[in-house]
Amino acid sequence: MSYRIITENQQLAEFCAKAQLSDCLAVDTEFVRTNTLQPKLGLIQLYAGDEVVLVDPLCISDWQPLDALLRAPTVLKMLHSCNEDLEAFASIGLVEIRPLFDTQLAAELGGMGASLGYGKMVEQLSGRVLDKSESRTDWLARPLAATQLEYAANDVLYLWPLKDLLISKLPRPELFDLLLAEGEQMISRRFFVLPPELKYLELKNSWQCQPRELAVLKLLCAWRQSYAEQKDMALGLVLKDALMYELARRRPATLEALAQLPDLHPRELRRHGQQILNLVSAAKALSPQQCPQTFYHLDSFRGFKQLQQDLTDAVQHAAKAADIPAAFLSVKRQLNEYLNWCWRVTDEERLLLPVPEYLRGWRRKVLLPYLPQPLHVQAIIAAQ
């Protein structure tokens, strides 16, 4: 197959100007994300129906032409399972990709199943079996082998022709508009993030912790997030979740006690030991009233598991009424986001949180008639 490698700003500008005349652009990225918080972009693949181009981001310094192309309202951007691609683009300042057509979601709405991989989708729709042997490539290495480049090119070459096939599988024409609306939600999601002091809410099973343990986790999570951003380190390389839970449970007061924790590497002890002790000490010094409570507004709280089930039932009923898959309407992250927003923060903290995705965009209209709405948030929901 033929493809062209772009290593110069002028080459990229010329391609983008030409691609602006197309009605559709297939897009993919290759990146490395092993030890860093942010993905390291290694390649960008673009195909507007004429030629496949592979953009080398290690050589490009002017992203304005691509930014303009990705924003162009007349060019549909096709990406498959694009959440990580959006992060990769954001790492070079490209944060708006509109209109966005996620082909994995289109396949789901078309009855092909949830979370369908790119290779399986191509095979089911076109009969083409793709070679995925280069999926573990180090995309920052240079030079890239011909087999690696061909693998990358295939990710857009066989994506572009599937647009009409995927659209034809949609049970109703209006679902295409729903896909574009979800594309908008995926773009806007990057602008709705938890403040550092509430990052502990994202920890799995943190709802099982006692207030004093939550106080420790709250300070540790905020510090870990800040440190990871400063050093561009994966969160788990700063402190693993399991270790933070152990710190919250034991609350050590000395370096000697800290060294007894089995999951604390000696390197981490040397690097962060005193900082960890200071944070644990600060959490221990809080009054009981200052500690985060496991849940608030207990008069309307039916228990975490019961509320999860109530929300799951609400999603099922709303999805059935809207005649869309429940997995398209909601994922567990979104469900827990709403539950946390309602019951796991104070009324003051709620003002610092992003509005839950259940209450934004197209989901609000679909879900709102079915959602449990405790009294203490009803006025906020009505005012949005």
Pairing between β-strand 40-47 and β-strand 52-55 as defined by DSSP bridges = antiparallel
Q: Is the CB of residue 279 less than 8 Å from the CB of residue 220?
A: yes
3-state DSSP percent of the chain in helix, strand and coil, to 5: 55, 10, 35
The alpha carbon dihedral of 273, 242, 335, 94 has a sign of positive
Residue 85: name the closest of 72, 106, 108, 101 by CA: 101
H-run or E-run covering 78: strand 76-79
**Which residues are catalytically annotated?**
28, 30, 85, 151, 155
Do you know the residue count of the chain? 384
Distance (Å, whole) CA 127 – CA 123: 4
Q: Is the CB of residue 6 less than 8 Å from the CB of residue 15?
A: yes
- Edge-to-edge strand ranges of the sheet holding 4-6: 4-6, 52-55, 40-47, 24-32, 76-79, 100-102
Cis omega (within 30 of 0) for bond into 99 = yes
How buried is 59 (Cβ within 10 angstroms: 0-12 exposed, 13-18 middle, 19+ buried)?
Answer: middle
Cis omega (within 30 of 0) for bond into 161 = no
Distance (Å, whole) CA 213 – CA 248: 5
Distance (Å, whole) CA 122 – CA 77: 17
Q: Looking at the DSSP assignment, which residues form a beta bridge with residue 76?
A: 24
How buried is 189 (Cβ within 10 angstroms: 0-12 exposed, 13-18 middle, 19+ buried)?
Answer: middle
Q: Looking at the DSSP assignment, which residues form a beta bridge with residue 4?
A: 53
Q: Is the CB of residue 366 less than 8 Å from the CB of residue 326?
A: no
